[in-house]
Structure 1
Amino acid sequence: MESIILLVVLLFLILLGAPIGFILILIPFVYILLTDAVPLVLIPSQMFTAIDSVPLTAIAFFMLTGELMTSATITDRLVALSRALIGRIRGGLAQVNVLVSMFFAGMNGSVVADTATVGALVLPAMKKAGYPAAFSAAVTGVSSTIGGIIPPRS
């Protein structure tokens, strides 16, 4: 019965046009109020435990590394090196995107940081060169997944 009520509340909120983030926060609270499955005093503890993890901290530090590399123009040099190696080939800027992602993955190993940093660097250049925005975003998203494969991934 509770699942039907939750589904009705979910559909109602979607039809109202509520933001998905708000809906994802509200639905568990509705469930807790309906069922008494979880004592209310445990909710703050569980919320803190969910965000108290080393991998979440590592993602933030990898993104900080990418920003530091960008401000030190290391990433611009990587793009220039990649352009010198394969930029003259047809579709070269898309291939430069992949090569920069490989270089960046070898430095930090984080898919999220790779996407954020390489996207900030190469996407404007691809847009300026006339590549469609959807294609550029797709190449960046797919090429950044190599960050989970190339070492120093632990």
Structure 2
Amino acid sequence: MHGTSRSAINRTSTWLAASSAALVLGMGLTGCGAVDDWDKATADAWAVTYQVTVSGENADALSDVSYLDSPSRGEDSAEVTEDSVATTSDAGKKDGSSWTAESVITAEKDAAIAATPAEGSTATCRILLDGVKEIAAQTGKPGERVECAVTTPAFGEK
């Protein structure tokens, strides 16, 4: 060996081995995160419609409204709350109105809606997949809170 000591070569070899191991470990950890991000981005998700219909004398608003929505595809559902929402009159119904919200819910995750009608009014909640297939429905008593909750099905189980 021309002017290079054996201990210097060993130190260099050790440093290269440690650096390589750290690089491989870092790439592996980044890879796991990338795989997790990919899985979430490509997760099956449903277009969910939450609907609350109100009948009675005071059918123009709902209070204490809450529903679940996924912040992004593949994420668990998170609660969204509204103190009060206005309803829209239903064509053909003299004393009925409704409120809807569109959401995205990852397949096999929870979907839920709850709302309180005005005193003397009755509310019915529904949860629909793709705006069509009803997967939950409930009618409350006059003036009382109504709640619908369900776990969305896996794709193919529609």
Q: TM-score by structure 1 length?
A: 0.27
Q: Which has the higher strand share?
A: 2
Q: TM-score by structure 2 length?
A: 0.27
